[in-house]
Structure 1
Amino acid sequence: MQIDKPHKRPKGESIVPMINVVFLLLIFFLMTSRLVEPAPFKVTPPTAASEKKPEAEPVIFLDKDGTLSFEGAEAEAAIANVKAISGTSAVIRLRADQRVPSSLAAKVLSDLAVAGLSNVELIVVPQ
């Protein structure tokens, strides 16, 4: 008499393909993401009807209280750092809070012009 061998239970689904997909997605997002330096303070840019987007670097931040910042430096040191890094002919981007009084923004633009940085673009949000 011949006795049949007991049937082995089938193993569950392998999770190796799912792990492979997760790692591929992780690599994809790491390769396509862009690391951006965080802003030194929260700034809400004003809106504009124009759709032209500035493409230049560096970016100077101006908060609602009139604090000027660039790469950790504030006030006159920020302007000096921008001038040292980009020179006087580069386009400078100014990211100002929408609550900044126009007189204060004009003063900052004047200070930048006195320092030789007269090519300044204001970053705005399209309407």
Structure 2
Amino acid sequence: MLRLARPRQTRPRESTVTLINIVFLMLIFFLVAGTLTPPLDNAVALISTSDAERSEPPGALFVTKDGEMRAEGTVVDAAGFVARHHAEADMQSGQTLEIRVAADRDLPAARLVDIVGALRAAGAGKISIVTERAEP
């Protein structure tokens, strides 16, 4: 008896077009759904930290090395900045207003403490200092 090998059945090749379409749709989704943050103020070089929780600075109060406070490119004072944030925030009872301060690394620490005190006196509840992560 003569045995002949059966020809192997070739599976049809799957098209990579479907995969490309899915990846392209995911790319568009993440571009649209991703959060876009405003650029940092050019006059501020952030303080560096080596181990900190990552946080984006949208709506932050920028403080230059001379102690000038800026928000969205305009010069502001502590009371005006907090008042504007109170007006913009949809505050419910019991919530505290959170302020992010992005200070220049060359700003004297005593001046930063004064600014934080002024923000607290103006009604800010939680104040966070925005830094950049230093490379180890």
Q: Same fold (TM over 0.5)?
A: yes
Of 81, 85, 88 in structure 1, the residue corresponding to residue 84 of structure 2 is 81
Q: What TM-score results when the alignment is normalised by the length of structure 2?
A: 0.59
Asked if structure 2 preserves the Cα contact closer than 8 Å seen for 1:94 and 1:121, the reply is yes
Q: 1:68 to 1:51 in 2, by over 3 A?
A: same
Q: Is the 8 A contact 2:37 2:58 kept in 1?
A: no
Query: Is 1:108 paired with 2:108?
Result: no
Alignment match, 1:16: none
- 8 Å Cα contact 1:94/1:123 also seen in 2: yes
Instruction: Return the offset for 1:40.
Output: 4.2
Change in CA separation of 1:65 and 1:56 when aligned onto 2, cut-off 3 Å: closer
Q: Where do 5+ consecutive residues of structure 2 fail to align?
A: 1-23
Gap runs ≥5 in structure 1: 1-23
Among all aligned residue pairs of Structure 1 and Structure 2, give the percentage whose two residues are the same amino acid. 24
Residue 65 of structure 1 aligns to a residue in which SS? coil
Tell me the equivalent position of 1:65.
66
Match for 1:48: what amino acid?
T
Aligned residue pairs, count: 107
Q: Equivalent residue for 1:52?
A: 53
Aligned counterparts, 1:1-127, within 5 A = 31=32, 35-54=36-55, 58-76=59-77, 77-86=80-89, 89-127=96-134
Deviation, structure 1 residue 46:
0.9
Please state how far the C-alpha of 1:109 moved relative to its aligned partner: 0.2
TM-score by length of 1: 0.63
Residue type matched to 1:101 in 2?
P
CA offsets, 1:15-51, max 9 Å, x none? xxxxxxxxx7xx6896477543334443111111323
1:123 aligned counterpart, secondary structure = strand
CA-atom RMSD in angstroms: 3.1
